[in-house]
Structure 1
């Protein structure tokens, strides 16, 4: 059963949605923390202001009792039992806010509820009031600020309180508003991401339609004007189309060459058969062999161009050259030709083994045929090409003769065996694979034929 991969747009939307959700959650936590500190700071500032105000109004008499020089029950400390309280505890008496309505803020209870140990005295400025949380006279949750002061040499503790609702209420309202705002922002971001993904993937849809038009024949190539990110893909597609078109053209040319090459042998065969009734077997056999050779050559090249492609095969050349050299040395054993090879063991060409055998076999066969006693082959890699140089110590060829022997069917010595197609077939095969051959003079005194073919792996990287 085939496994259906998730679409690219779904992957992008899922990743973007997860990232947006995570970012909004982190933002909510951080903003909530900041808002809590802000609201808490405002409440603490109001309570600390009340402590400073009370401390400025405190007086002590000779009996150790404390009193206030004025009325300290300003807003919001005048509202009864609302959580806004203050209390001043001295050695002999206690002063309370009117909002306490005679109740006490239990000092031991406050001390028991303080989480942190007393802060060490600060030398740079006056010690700030200490925070604490606890329960008030009506069992409501309060936030306290407590500060010990000196009044006329007496130790006095000033305590102020505010209801926890004064902190949590505004914070809750702010967080609700913040949550709604962030939800709307998240929805807007998701919609923006969806629009962005849709617009961003639109070039891929256009590319799909262009490839479909190429497949249906309405276009020859994919339009080259594409976004920068998919431009390399378009270039590779067009390169593939060009290669397929070139392979098809080669196949058509080979078929045309086959048809043209068979015309003359068939006509000659028909004349020979009608003239003497087929009583000359040697003539008929030669014509049939020539037609068979041409059919095998052209159909083999067409098959390679259309089915295999010149860049898919790889052939390690040293074993093939060694086998060819051994075989030709035995065939030409009467000449005692010395065959030498200087080719790195790891050289590989992007070529079918059968085609490489035919090219190298033709070159080595000619070298052994015309050599007096020495045949050598050298191989090197030049960038993306493998160069094989086959040399012999024969009589060699002039510049005009070198151009002549590359034409199909051209022979310089009609008395020598063969049909004159070896070098032309090798040249055509080399061109099929993106290479070539070149003829020159050999330091040994004879002919030097250089065969250039793409190195394995180089064709794919082009």
Structure 2
């Protein structure tokens, strides 16, 4: 239906309909004017012939009429072409040579075209009246247009009839209307093309607005640019107000989630350690309860985080600056070991991830690497289709295959003497999975642990 169609289609359809209607009305009106003009030219020629004939008419005493000269000038000299004249007097009839002896019967008009002569005004001489028109059938059954006028020749009443073929009117009219129709068709096509261009230019701000909203959704812009046409400015203002409101709600939700996560992480880890060490109490009762609490809390925190993020499409983070900052900070914290930090990550790479979450994931992995490294930590980035893989390696003692599986479990610690609660790697893995990535552990050529963090690239998230 038209009301469900695009704006451009609706505008073009309405414009084409109005243009077509205007052209049809113009054609009818111009055709009517042209018909009157051509008919007027023919009538003027016939009336001139009547005036010429009346000037040549003579009548004798018996009422017989005659012409004082020749009246068969062009086009009345051509035989049976429709250009005729006839003068009917009281005693005789004069005819043009083109009639070849035939009679003009102007009293037999075409059906529907009979126009009786108007009654002459009493205060005017009938000879001063204009010739009356009539349409009828000629000697060769052709349609003729007549001009008839009564005149006085001496004391006698005489009727002069002149005729022209209807083709003399319709032929030029047809040629003119053909040219007019072609001209109007070209004009209509030009108007439609102009309307198409106008619609395209008029709707271009809406296309720019769509791209701006897409940039906001993908994270390239924080707000829709306010420099818009006057008619679109109220809509842009409402969109920006909605974005501000959503951003405020998102920040509040994320703050609550972060506070809850950090508030529960340490007490829960402490309770798990205490339950594990309580050999004389009731570990069989406490440990399952602690595990169940941990699973429930992490489940609901994950749901709250996913709902707050509302998907990764808008979030994007430049990873090279964040990794460099984390490496500098951790290098200062572990300055007593003089660790060389090597990074090979392109500066323009972006991941579809909130900066806070990326800092937490990368911070956990780099913190472990610096903690166990002897003298070198390296990180390099590799593009894997829609994912960016960050590989963090150290030259520490590394982990066995069994140990790699254990450290990914929440609260699992291989070295109780080292600081921490054993949740860093498990939190990193769960965060990565929330964004559609993962974490994998392996052996490093440097001799230590190799951790690969995969996250979706920002441009890949936009294309979905």
Q: TM-score range by the shorter chain?
A: 0.5 to 0.7
8 Å contact from structure 1 (residues 113, 134) kept in 2? no
Instruction: Check conservation: 1:91, 1:155, Cα contact below 8 A.
Output: yes
Write out per-residue CA displacement over residues 99-123 of structure 1, whole angstroms, 9 at most, x where no aligned residue. Answer: 1122211254359986123213247
CA 1:73–1:221: 2 relative to 1, 3 Å? same
- Hey, what's the Cα distance between the residues in 2 that align with 1:74 and 1:193? 55
The two structures, once aligned, show a CA RMSD in angstroms of 3.9
The one of 215, 220, 223 equivalent to 2:222 is 220
Q: Hey, what does 2:338 align to over in structure 1?
A: none
Find the partner of 1:167 among 155, 169, 173. 169
Partners of 2:14 and 2:112 lie apart in 1 by 47
Match of 1:9 in 2: 8
Q: Matched residues in 1 for 2:86 and 2:137: separation?
A: 15
In the other structure, the counterpart of 1:117 is: 116
The residue aligned with 1:236 is 238
Alpha-carbon deviations, 1:133-170, whole Å to 9, x = none? Answer: 11111222111111112221211111000011101110
- Out of 80-89 and 240-249, give the one that drifted further: 240-249
The corresponding residue for 2:153 is 151
Taking a change above 3 Å as real, the CA distance of residues 108 and 252 of structure 1, as seen in their structure-2 partners, is closer
Q: Following TM superposition, by how much is the alpha carbon of 1:253 offset from its aligned partner in structure 2, in angstroms?
A: 4.7
Partner in structure 1 of residue 33 of structure 2: 34
What CA deviation, in whole Å up to 9, does each residue of 1:20-49 have, x standing for no partner?
Answer: 112111111111111111111110111011
Separation (CA, whole Å) in 2 of partners of 1:185 and 1:254? 67
With structure 1 as the length reference, what TM-score do the two structures score?
A: 0.54
SS of the aligned residue for 1:167 comes to helix
- Matched with 2:134 is 132
Counterpart residue number, 1:87? 86
Take 2:37 and 2:253, find their aligned partners in 1: how far apart are those partners?
Answer: 82
Distance 1:33 1:75 in 2: 28
- Structure 1 residue 178 displacement after superposition: 0.8
* 1:210 Cα deviation from its structure 2 partner: 0.8
Larger mean CA deviation between 48-57 and 248-257 belongs to 248-257
> CA separation in 2, counterparts of 1:9 and 1:112?
51
Tell me which residue corresponds to 1:66: 65
Q: Distance in 1 between matches of 2:191 and 2:248?
A: 50
The residue aligned with 2:250 is 248
User: Gaps spanning 5+ residues in structure 1: where?
Assistant: 270-298, 308-462
User: TM-score of the superposition, structure 2-length normalised?
Assistant: 0.54
Q: CA deviation at 1:183?
A: 1.1
Q: Deviations over 1:405-459 (max 9, x none)?
A: xxxxxxxxxxxxxxxxxxxxxxxxxxxxxxxxxxxxxxxxxxxxxxxxxxxxxxx
| Residues in 1 aligned to 2:240 and 2:111: alpha-carbon distance in whole angstroms | 82
Matched residue SS, 1:250: helix
Hey, what's the Cα distance between the residues in 2 that align with 1:111 and 1:5? 54
Number of residues paired by the alignment?
285
Q: Is the 8 A contact 1:135 1:141 kept in 2?
A: yes
**Partner residue of 1:185 out of 184, 187, 193:** 187
Cα pair distance change 1:122/1:184, threshold 3 Å: farther
Could you tell me whether the CA contact under 8 Å between 2:146 and 2:163 is conserved in 1? yes
Does the Cα contact within 8 Å between 1:146 and 1:160 map onto a contact in 2?
yes
Match of 2:232, SS state, is helix
Rounded Cα–Cα distance in structure 2 between residues aligned with 1:112 and 1:154: 32
Partner Cα distance (1:112, 1:15) in 2: 42
Counterparts of 1:195 and 1:123 in 2: how far apart (Å)?
A: 66
